[in-house]
Structure 1
Amino acid sequence: MNADSTMSRRSWIEDTFCKRECGKFIPACRDLHRCFPMCQVCQNLIRCCCGRLVGEHTLLETGPSMSSWPGPGTGQQEEWSVECHTQTSATDAYGTIDFQDSAGRNCHAKYVRVAVDAKAEALLQLMRSEWQMERPKLLLTVHGGTENFPLPLKVRQAFSKGLITAAQSTGAWILTDGINTGVSRYVGEAVKTYGTHDLRKRNAVGVTPWGVIDNHSDLIGRDVLRPYQPLGNPLSKRVCLNGLHSHFLLVDDGTLGKHGCQLGLRRKLERHIQLQKIHPRLNQGVPVVCVVVEGGPDIVSMVLEYVSSVPPMPVFVFEGSGRAADLLAFLHKQTAIDRQLDTDIQEDFLLRIGGMFGLERADASQLYNLLMECMDYRQSITIFDSESEDQQEADCAILTATLKGTKTSPGEQLSTALAWDRADIAKKHILVYGQHWQVGSLEQAMLDALVMDRVGFVKLLIDNAAGTNRQFSPSSRGRCETGDWTG
């Protein structure tokens, strides 16, 4: 890359993406400090609502006026918000992270610090044009527990192999929160165990809150290569990045040590990717499927958001992984016939929810209601039981759930499977007896398969036509013979 193109890339990134910094100190708590006016010691103890001390506010030219802070009970405190109390400026952290593990191995990952209100269109342009990521044909967005948790061996193997096989065989992107604990760590281990070099280099993206990353100041620099050791301080409340991800979007809302700001931007990015074409020749958008492993109460509301969206985003739950995933799996099975639980089962279930998350009765009931709302969209939720001998391979189950959960037509499902080059999925779940096809849809699929050089699909469609006494029209046969496949 020449100097001019490098400068152009730098200019575009800094013109497009911002960081956010708190510009007004509003104390998070005053009741414990009775000094008035505030003493210097208290200034060094009290944190702003953004999570920083006075001295950590780089935008404050002078310290905040202590006399402007009302004493305990003497007035209402101004409520801090990202919109009102943070300021934006050009991003100052982007480039390449050089992860160095204890074995001395190095993995590189692209990264950029972006404001929480960044545009999804700009993020996708960054990923496709600047980072040279290939067009996604599927988006696997993985949610679950953020703290470390044990996974039973069978569940772990099914999740790891299934996720990576589904990603590699279809050309998928994997989205996680990118941290080195919880479900994201399991994703990293899956990439390491089952992923090819190409997957490690291109397809696993962490969308991570900037303010919770341990030693994030080490990443500040423009178009830099920064060494990073994902070991972390066990006593710190901050988190490390997982070194087996290939790219990181570090989401900045101006806070320090506060989780969750990345979720809204991640959802915007998912929806925008969903609108992109899965292949230049095909009209289908990119399918998005949410994969759930373990998880806390927030996962339940997230699942409801996915399945109730228009169009719905399918959810794939690994039963046996614990907590929220197991609650969803239990309800999904118990309400398969009768949509309501028996009174005694409901009572036991409420106690289970309360004990699992440490919730009072009212909060447990509220979470139960959210779980039951999820069951109203049960056709978009798939439960994977790795202990069942009748269960298909996890990668096939994920892809089948993706096709069935979006309520698309058989022709659209066939186009999606064609883009993935998964003739096995098409044969088992789409080209089946009794399927109703729109006129010309199978002929169009044959032409698409020929143009896209999908040999397995061409054979499958020919065999299917022979098995159903269906013949392709003279016009399509003529195209096959002459090589005119554009119409």
Structure 2
Amino acid sequence: MPLKSILCCCGYSYTHHCGTGADVQSYSLSENREKDCEQWSPGKNTRPFPTDAYGTIEFQGGPHPTKAQYVRLAHDTRPEPIVQLLCREWNLGLPKLLITVHGGRSNFELQPNLKKVLRKGLLKAAKTTGAWIFTGGTNTGVTRQVGDALLLERSQRQGRVVSIGIAPWGILDKSHELVGRGGEVSYDCVSSPWTKYTVLNNRHAYFLLVDNGTGGRYGAEIVLRRRLEKYISNLKLQPCKRYSDLYELKFYNSRSSNSSMLLDTHSSIPVVALVIEGGTNTIRAVLEYVTDDPPIPVVVCDGSGRAADLIAFMHRWRDGQTGDGEGPLEGVKEQVLETIKRTFQVSAEQASQLCSELLQCTRKKHLITVFRISQDRPQELDQTILTALFKSKQLSPAEQLSLSLIWNRVDIARSEIFVYGQKWPSGALEQAMMQALQHDRIDFVKLLLENGVSMRKFLSIPRLEELYNTVGQFYFCSNIFLSKQFKYG
């Protein structure tokens, strides 16, 4: 047997660790090898070293070279330095929304109409709200579908969508090409069909390459990604463009106790999971999201296949009947089990376990929103994602308005918040008007004027002073615009 074909417990060959020699072969065939495999773990059998792979990737193999920032990091890296890297070193602003995409690792095809709607909706949701998108980073499965959506970007004036691929280092083909400190490296993004390894998706802008010492295996990134999502979800939602602006705003606010420079949402950065297709691990990820504390809302794309379709089906049946008024869920349980066995190629016992997990997911029905293409109720994916957050968090109308104002989505405010019979607490619309003026949300100013805010009553002396004091440092509406709005009363 060739030495290179003899694998260590971590998944790499023995020659990867210690070269060639009779001692390698004799150990690999001994009884100690089986014992060590049972006990092997990253914590016991790996040692941390300063990272030797970070900088800029220049992707080769495509029609046009593209570039991305990347870093190789340990699987147990704390979230705080990762966010500092993203915001301070890579110069990203904190997100106003985090969309974490989950689905199958293997390549799959979507229906053309659904593919078009998903790509357009995901891109619009990210661009209009200032969101970050988390994916698996590799050029396979659902991440490849997201990469195809990113390919549709045409307007460079609005900036590149912040797409962050979180991939396991050990699964990457030609990872040696990425070794280098702070420079620019060339990376061939064309993978061989004969290898179990894969390449990075060249449409992403940033990569976190997670290393736990294993090779040829997925999973190193799962815990780090989840911890990072949770950490970001606990950060205060800010309208700042840069991480360092937080300190400038704190300094500014210390001089004025009445200043409302920060949008007062009393909210942290919202996170939503988007499920497209997917396997058994996707079902378990959804279960973890909806049962977490605090829970994360999930949007499931019905019609995309496998896990997504099963979750959508169970969600529909959760109330005990279909839309046609047919019988309870127990009446189709055998059919569901057979579908699970056939879809995932699992045993009856595994199918029963997955069915149980699906039922646990749908017990949190208010946290799961199913996106379907419907002729009767046409709704874009971006609207579904944003309204799912409103529904899951049970926000008050004032909090919903603050979020839509931060996202600059006046269409969401108009269709979902300013509905007939909506009741507003005293001063809520006036506070929203102040925020809209300070943050140059002209469409929101018009919307608030249409819904009863009187500019004559609103522009008191203290408010005029506050607006005057903030015009110099932030790009607010001009006095000319304000004067034109007096005609609204």
1:291 aligns with 2:278: no
Is the 1:278–1:416 Cα contact (8 Å) retained in structure 2?
Answer: no
Aligned to 2:344: 357
Distance 1:43 1:59, change over 3 A: closer
**Residue 88 (structure 1) aligned to one of 48, 57, 71:** 48
The unaligned stretches of length 5 or more in structure 2 are 240-261, 471-489
SS at match of 1:465: coil
For 2:277, give the aligned amino acid: E
**Cα deviation, residue 48, structure 1:** 1.1
Cα deviation digits, residues 309-329 of structure 1 (max 9, x gap): 222211111110000000011
SS at match of 1:343: helix
Is the 1:311–1:406 Cα contact (8 Å) retained in structure 2?
Answer: no
**Residue 84 (structure 2) aligned to one of 125, 133, 138:** 125
**Cα deviation, residue 307, structure 1:** 1.5
For 1:426, give the aligned amino acid: A
Is the 2:8–2:28 Cα contact (8 Å) retained in structure 1?
Answer: no
Distance 1:158 1:485, change over 3 A: farther
**Cα deviation, residue 76, structure 1:** 8.3
**Residue 103 (structure 2) aligned to one of 123, 136, 144:** 144
**Cα deviation, residue 350, structure 1:** 1.0
Is the 1:379–1:405 Cα contact (8 Å) retained in structure 2?
Answer: yes
Is the 1:323–1:356 Cα contact (8 Å) retained in structure 2?
Answer: yes
Q: Could you tell me how far apart the structure 1 residues matched to 2:371 and 2:35 are?
A: 54
Distance 1:288 1:58, change over 3 A: farther
**Residue 124 (structure 2) aligned to one of 165, 185, 205:** 165
**Cα deviation, residue 448, structure 1:** 1.2
For 1:148, give the aligned amino acid: N
For 1:320, give the aligned amino acid: G
Cα deviation digits, residues 112-165 of structure 1 (max 9, x gap): 000000111110100000001122111111110111101001110111000001
SS at match of 1:175: strand
Is the 1:191–1:199 Cα contact (8 Å) retained in structure 2?
Answer: no
What is the alpha-carbon root mean square deviation over aligned residues?
Answer: 2.8
The unaligned stretches of length 5 or more in structure 1 are 1-40
Identity of aligned residues (%): 40
Cα deviation digits, residues 417-453 of structure 1 (max 9, x gap): 1100111101111222333444433222221111111
**Residue 382 (structure 1) aligned to one of 363, 369, 376:** 369
Corresponding residue pairs, total: 442
Cα deviation digits, residues 197-233 of structure 1 (max 9, x gap): 3677451110000000000011001012111121100
Distance 1:444 1:180, change over 3 A: same
Is the 2:177–2:185 Cα contact (8 Å) retained in structure 1?
Answer: yes
For 1:97, give the aligned amino acid: I
Deviates more, 1:152-161 or 1:200-209: 200-209
**Residue 372 (structure 1) aligned to one of 359, 371, 383:** 359
Cα deviation digits, residues 269-317 of structure 1 (max 9, x gap): 1111112232251342211111110000111111111122222211111
For 2:94, give the aligned amino acid: R
Cα deviation digits, residues 171-215 of structure 1 (max 9, x gap): 111110111111111111111114533677451110000000000
Is the 1:137–1:279 Cα contact (8 Å) retained in structure 2?
Answer: yes
**Residue 311 (structure 2) aligned to one of 324, 328, 332:** 328
TM-score, normalised via structure 1 length: 0.84
Q: Could you tell me how far apart the structure 2 residues matched to 1:198 and 1:341 are?
A: 53
Aligned to 1:101: 61
SS at match of 2:275: strand
**Residue 428 (structure 1) aligned to one of 400, 415, 427:** 415
Is the 2:56–2:68 Cα contact (8 Å) retained in structure 1?
Answer: yes
Is the 1:137–1:278 Cα contact (8 Å) retained in structure 2?
Answer: yes
Q: Could you tell me how far apart the structure 2 residues matched to 1:237 and 1:73 are?
A: 23
TM-score, normalised via structure 2 length: 0.84
1:153 aligns with 2:112: yes
For 2:54, give the aligned amino acid: Y
**Cα deviation, residue 58, structure 1:** 5.3
| 1:186-335 pair list within 5 angstroms | 186-194=145-153, 196-197=155-156, 201=160, 203-280=162-239, 281-282=262-263, 283-335=266-318
